[in-house]
Every structure is written in structure tokens, then in C-alpha cells.
Amino acid sequence: MTRPAARLDRIAPFRVMEVLARARSLEAQGRSVIHLEIGEPDFPTADGIVQAGVRALAAGRTSYLPALGLDALREAIAASYPAAHRPDPSRIVVTPGASGALLLALGALVNPGDGVLLSDPGYPCNRHFVRLFEGDPRPVPVGPETNYQASAEQLRSRWTDRTVAALVASPANPTGTMVARGEMARIARTVSALGGALVVDEIYHGLTYGIDAESALALGPDIFVVNSFSKYYGMTGWRIGWLVAPAEYVPALERLAQNLYISVNTPAQYAALAAFEPEVKVELERRRGVFRERRDYLVPALCDLGFGVPASPEGAFYVYADCSRFTDDSEAFAREVLTATGVAITPGIDFGEHAARRHVRFSYANTLENLEEAVRRLKAYLEDRPARP
Amino acid sequence: MTRPAARLDRIAPFRVMEVLARARSLEAQGRSVIHLEIGEPDFPTADGIVQAGVRALAAGRTSYLPALGLDALREAIAASYPAAHRPDPSRIVVTPGASGALLLALGALVNPGDGVLLSDPGYPCNRHFVRLFEGDPRPVPVGPETNYQASAEQLRSRWTDRTVAALVASPANPTGTMVARGEMARIARTVSALGGALVVDEIYHGLTYGIDAESALALGPDIFVVNSFSKYYGMTGWRIGWLVAPAEYVPALERLAQNLYISVNTPAQYAALAAFEPEVKVELERRRGVFRERRDYLVPALCDLGFGVPASPEGAFYVYADCSRFTDDSEAFAREVLTATGVAITPGIDFGEHAARRHVRFSYANTLENLEEAVRRLKAYLEDRPARP
């Protein structure tokens, strides 16, 4: 066998995939499994978007598009931001999912050995993108005292002369927590004063409950903003997202895009145009209400069971729950819960190192009925199970 | 402005994009332009494939699929190879275009500073993928004496202790030339004996004329084979391809895929299943005949005009023509030809350094009528133009 590149050893598998494989194996044995491990909305793509995709195919829209994306879509994305901080459409890069946006942004920012600050816990792919480019992902351990988000002060104190960027997600996966507006402004000023780049992951914008998320674009033209049609717009399998980049980076990002993926799936780009239509918006807002209802049920129900949810998840569809009352090994606990109850959850280790063994992630991308059934099963199981001494 | 990563300076723009922009600007002024610069089949996706995409959308197939791809598609791709060297479906990785396959293969093989041997001229993205991973693309200058392909002997003589892989494309872009079967076997033995990995780009398989291309899979289980639904199968805008990987690399490639792009566009995967249906095959073979007819017209016509085509293009849809009778600056020549005649062609510089100023690429992804008109215009123009002294 030839020698594989060293980076492969530094890219860990998602534990959630093992959970999913075990869950499917239980299902194959006839067991009822409730999937609360999944990071994907449980709604199909809204009909108005699907029909736009069908029309694009019927019209023969099957050729390459420009690497930066369909102009009409770049304009529609730009127009989706409030007028006060609407970016010029030339700053919008349509990407193959938010994954593609992170690939471009970090490919444009990270030299070998460069440090990138990331909250721990956080979305696992972020650190792997940094490693892909031979950079050094530097976790910032965060907990409920900062709403599970890295503060401006934490970023400042951990910045070194090899740090080039900070990546912030609001709302975040796995915690659903947001960075408050004033704190995001402090973060932007801090990172800028340190000469670094700020990348803000806004892929859960739209899926916030009782609060509207303001884009970091409001804080200046130098911030890289990552977004996606996957979550609020419900287009996961289409693989389409976008990056709003500082204007001076766009020519280099275009070259990267041309070389890395040529262009984004064409029917998906035409379909995404429909995502901004008023009748689609009505359906998406209805779904947002459904997610909110589930969150409002699940968080207190988990607390009643003995889980800790000290920072309120204000967006996305996850609850990052402290399970230290039950275990000091959340990976074993998740396995045990799945086997005993058929409820699939994700161990904290998927999201970093910090307090990972004391946390599990519940996704509420599942029906209220299933959430209620999951809570019933957990209640019966946990009541029989001795608490930790 | 923050500091962009150094790799951006090493990733050149495609000159063909400048040609295309200038061509479009001429068209906007009302000029008639014949596009012979384009690397995309001029046929829309075959109807049977489009209809399968429409059915997938109608059936709500809009969620993520597994990172390695839809099992049924992996099986269909494996079954498309002759029984004698059919790979196990578990070795097939469905990717976002051949671009995604190259990203995975080189990400799995290239450490910083590692050398990868590539023919010059060659597909420009290949060297950029190597640079993306901080590797060192090492061009092997090739000419008509080796059919514009790197020979086993050339690879052996240029191998160093930092070389980890060789990348061979057959048929190749920009030359359309193939590696003969015996030579490919020698290449595979040579690279293996040197302890390196061999990556073979087979994206133009199916588009060979008067000759059938044998997959390098016939030469052993350790070869990385890149292929695509873009060219023969006419699915450019869908962005779907595949990698056949050595079995022991698949788990690492799965982790890379999960992290880099999660999964490939779902409707495209269902649509691609239809690419193997007999009635679609009939249409694809008809198109192959059309491409052959164009090649058989264009190559002698270019020779009559005074271009040199010393190695017969046996596949793809390109002619890499020696224009040294007319110029020693093919980039200026391509610009001049476009302005004077409205015929858009690609300068050699897009494909490397070696003899690039003496070559231009003609694509015959255009109708026979347009090729004939282009030749008429070139004839009138070149006859009036003094030959080089």
C-alpha cells in the first residue's frame, strides 16, 4: 500500500455515523428507533422549490454555470439581506453547500501552520477544514457562562502571532446558542484590531425562535459570512449554500472555485431562486413555528429528566444537554441509551474535547409525537437506572 | 485587508475564461462568435436522464445521501466495467464531479512538499489540486514523440524520493491522445515499483473514436481511477463523477467526503442511475458518432490551414494544434483570431508551460456547420496574414 497523507489521521470520523449505523442495525432487527441524532430537517424541500427544480430540468438547464454562481441567484441572495447592510451581489459566491463556502474561505485564509480559533464544542468539520489546509485549529473551550460561545475577550487572550482567523457560528451546532449583537460587534472589532479575519457561520439563520438573528454583515465589509439553503430553506440534498466575501477576495475565490468544483449543481441554483418567493416563505415560516414548538417541549422535558440545559438554545434544532448526572462517559451513555430505549442521540465527542464526555446532543428534527415518545422511553429507562454515586 | 493564503498566488486563472469574456463582449456588440474554446459537450443531458431527475424530485428525493454515494448507483457504476476487472461496489466513491474525485484522491495522497508527476500540457486543475494540499506539481514535458503522454520511462527518470504519485489522463485534455495499453501497463508497474500511487483520469472514456479505451482498473487494484458523468454521459451541470479507490483507502476517503462536502447532490445521483439504461446508451452512442464525424472533419481541415496536428486525437473533443507557422505567441494569436474572425480558441498557456506558446486548443463541442464556418473564416484570415519569416 502506498503511504496515505498524514492529514487523514487528523480527520476523525463522525461518531454520529456510528450511532446511525447501530440505529439502522437495530431497525433491521425490527426495533423501533427514534432518530434524535440527525442534523437534517425532517421536512422535504418545499414544493415551490421542488417545482422550480423540475421546471429547470424541463427547460434543459443542465450545463455548467459560472463558478461564482448564477447572477440572478447572487442578486436574490444579496436582496434577502436587509437594505441597511445589503451586500453587493458581486460579493456573493454560490457554493456547493456551506461546506463549499468553508472550503473556499479557509482555503483563501489559511497557510500551513496558521492558527484558527474555533469554539469547543463546535461543528466538527470546521476544524477538519483548517487541518485540510495544514492549518492549526485552536479550540476555545466554552460553557454556559458565555452561552457556549467564544467571547471577544477569549479570542483576544488566545490570539498569537500565528493566528489568522476566528470562526464563530450563531446559532451554533451543537448548542443552538447565539452570540448577542453587542458581543458580535466586540468580536468583529477585536479580530479586526488583531489583523485577523472573522468567519461567521450563519447557516441556522431563519431557524431562531422568539428572536431574529442579525447578519454579521451589519458589522462591516471585511467579514466572511457563510450561509446555506440546507437548514431554513430545507434543501440539504441539493448541496447549495453561499459565501459573502470581502470584495477584494472575490477574484481569488473565483479561481479557487473554478479549480475546486467548476460550478455548483445547475438545477439546484434555479430551484434556489424559488426559495425567496412569498408562498415558499409562508411554508418555511410555518416550519419554523413547528421547530419552535418542539424546542419549547423538549428543553423543559429534558430538564425534568435530569439533564442540564443551562444556556437556552435560541436557534437551530439541537439541545446540547449535560448528562453528568447519569454518566461521565457520554459516548458509552449514548450507546447504552440507544440499545436500551431505541432513542438515538449524538455523544459530545463529535463536537470537540471540552466537557465532551459530560454532554450529548439531542436533535429535534423529528415530530413532536416522536419527541414525546423518546422522552417517555428515556424517563422509564433513567428512573430504573441508578444515579451516579 | 487581511493576508490571503499564499496558495492563491500559485493558482492561475483559466485564460479560457478571459477568452470567453472577450467572446461574450463581442457577441454583445452584435458580432457572430463561434465558440471553439469550450470544454463542455454541446448536447443537453439525454432525456432519459433528465426524466429520472424529474422523477426523483417528484418522489421527494431531496435529503442527504451517504457520503460514499447511493448504494444502487455505486453498484451500477461498478457493473459498468467489464466483468474481467469489475471493481467491488465498495470501492466506488460517488463524487461532486471528477473535481471531487481529484480532491479526495490527492487529499488522501499528498503531504506538504510531496511531488506529483503530471504531463505538460495537461488539465490545469490537476496541478492546482496538488498545490491546494501544499504539494509540488512536477510537470513532465511531453510532445508528439510520446503521443503527448508521459511515458513509463519519463516517469521513472523524473521520480525522486519526494515523489508520491503520478497522474495520467487518457484520453487527455487538451490533446485528445491516449496512452496505449502496453504503455499504461508499464506505467502502472513502474509507479508501483517506485512505491508511488497512480491516479488515472478516465473522464473521456466513452468518447474515443475507432478505438475503445480500457480502464486502468484492468491493471490492478491499487490504481486510483477518476471518472465523471459530465462528458460521455453529458451531465456537466449536475456535478457528479466517481472515484474507484484501492479498498484500503475507502474508510479515509469516506471521512474526507463527510467533512469536505457531506454528500453529492441527491437528484443527480438518482438521475445518473438512468445513464446506464439501454435507451440512453443508444443516444449517447449516437452522440459519440457525431463527435467522431466532427473530429474527422476538423483535424485534416486544420492541417490544410497550416496548423500541425502530429499526434492523432483519439478521444475527448479537442485538437491541440501547433500554430508555430503563424506565431510564437499563441495567447496573442488566439486574441487576434477572435477579434479578426470571431472564432474563439484557447491558448496553450492554460495547459502548462511546455511549448505552450506554440499551441492552441480547438474544441469540437460545436456543430459541424459551425466548425466548417470557423475553418472558412480562419482560411480567409490566415491567407491574408503573412506567414512568420
Domain count, chain B: 2
Backbone angles phi, psi at B120, to 5 degrees: -125, 115
Residues of A in contact with B190 (CB under 8 A): none
**Do residues B106 and B148 both lie within one domain?**
yes
A368 burial (CB, 10 Å; 0-12 / 13-18 / 19+) is middle
Provide the domain limits for residue A120.
Answer: 47-276
Q: How far apart are CA A7 and CA B134, in angstroms?
A: 12
Three cell numbers written together for A217:
454583515
Q: Rounded to an integer, what distance in angstroms lies between the CA atom of residue A228 and that of residue A241? A: 4
Q: Answer whether residue A110 is part of any domain.
A: yes
Both A31 and A119 in a single domain? no
β-pairing, B224-228 with B241-244?
A: antiparallel
pLDDT tens digits, residue range B319-346?
A: 999 999 999 999 999 999 999 999 999 9
Per-residue confidence (pLDDT) for residue B3, from 0 to 100: 76
Task: Find the CATH number of the domain harbouring B363.
Answer: 3.90.1150.10
Q: Which helix (H) or strand (E) holds B141?
A: strand B136-141
Q: Which of B58, B267, B98 is nearest to A239 (CA)?
A: B267
Do B244 and B373 sit in the same domain of this protein?
no
The label of the residue with cell 441572495 reads A77
Which strands sit side by side in the sheet containing B318-322, from one edge to the other?
B318-322, B359-363, B346-347
Last residue of a domain, one of A213, A241, A276: A276
Q: With CB atoms and an 8 Å threshold, state whether B96 touches A12.
A: no
Q: Residues 6 or more apart from A289 whose CB is under 8 A from it? A: none
**Are residues A98 and A20 located together in one domain of the fold?**
no
CB nearest to B11's CB, from A249, A256, A262: A256
Distance CA B269, CA B55 (A): 12
| B289 and B308 fall within a common domain | yes
How many CA atoms lie within 13 Å of A34's alpha carbon, on the beta-carbon side?
A: 23
Shared domain for A200 and A338, answered yes or no, is no
Q: Looking at the domain assignment, is residue A388 inside a domain? A: no
Whole-prediction pTM value? 0.96
Could you say which DSSP state residue B139 is in? E
The CATH number that applies at residue B72 is 3.40.640.10
Question: Has residue A80 been placed in a domain?
Answer: yes
Q: Does residue B103 fall inside a structural domain? A: yes
Beta bridge partners of A168: A200
B226 to chain A, closest Cα gap in Å: 14
Sheet holding A163-169, edge to edge: A92-95, A241-244, A224-228, A197-201, A163-169, A115-120, A136-141
Between the alpha carbon of residue B350 and those of residues A311, B125, B127, B342, the distances in Å are 54, 10, 11, 20
A163 in the same domain as A272: yes
A-chain CB neighbours of B233 within 8 Å are none
Among left, alpha and beta (phi > 0; psi -120 to 50; other), residue A159 is beta
Interface test with A, best of B260, B261, B270 (most A CBs within 10 A): B260
- Residue A358 falls inside a structural domain: yes
DSSP single-letter state for residue B315: B
- Cβ burial of A234 (10 Å; 0-12, 13-18, 19+) is buried
Task: Tell me, yes or no, whether B74 and B220 share the same domain.
Answer: yes
- Give yes or no for a contact between B378 and B305, defined as CB atoms under 8 angstroms apart: yes
**Contacting residues for A362 by C-beta, under 8 A, at least 6 apart:** A36, A298, A302, A318, A319, A321, A345
Domain shared by A245 and A102, yes or no: yes
Examine residue B1 and state whether it is found in any structural domain, yes or no: no
Which of B230, B260, B276 corresponds to the end of one domain?
A: B276
B388 in a structural domain: no
My answer on whether B201 and B258 are in the same domain is yes
Q: Are B369 and B377 in contact (CB under 8 A)?
A: no
Q: B26 with B171, same domain?
A: no
Last-in-domain residue among B242, B276, B310: B276
Same domain for A107 and A51, yes or no, is: yes
Would you state the cell numbers that stand for residue A87, as one nine-digit string?
A: 451586500
Q: Do A11 and B256 touch (CB under 8 A)?
A: yes
Residue in chain B closest to A111 (alpha carbons) equals B5
**Angstroms from B161 CA to nearest CA on chain A:** 13
Is residue A91 within 8 A of residue A77, CB to CB? The reply is: no
CB contact under 8 A, A11 and B262: no
Check A50 against B61: CB less than 8 A apart.
no
End-to-end CA distance of chain A: give it in Å, rounded: 50
Per-residue pLDDT 10s for chain A (389 aa) are 677 899 888 888 888 888 888 999 999 999 999 999 988 999 999 999 999 999 999 999 999 999 999 999 999 999 999 999 999 999 999 999 999 999 999 999 999 999 999 999 999 999 999 999 999 999 999 999 999 999 999 999 999 999 999 999 999 999 999 999 999 999 999 999 999 999 999 999 999 999 889 999 999 999 999 999 999 999 999 999 999 999 999 999 999 999 999 999 999 999 999 999 999 999 999 999 999 999 999 999 999 999 999 999 999 999 999 999 999 999 999 999 999 999 999 999 999 999 999 999 999 999 999 999 999 999 999 998 876 65
Output the pLDDT for position B387: 66
| DSSP-based three-state secondary structure for A43 | coil
The angle formed by the CA atoms of residues B68, B267 and A234, to the nearest 5 degrees, is 95
Beta-carbon separation of B134 and A112 below 8 A: yes
B26 domain residue, yes or no = yes
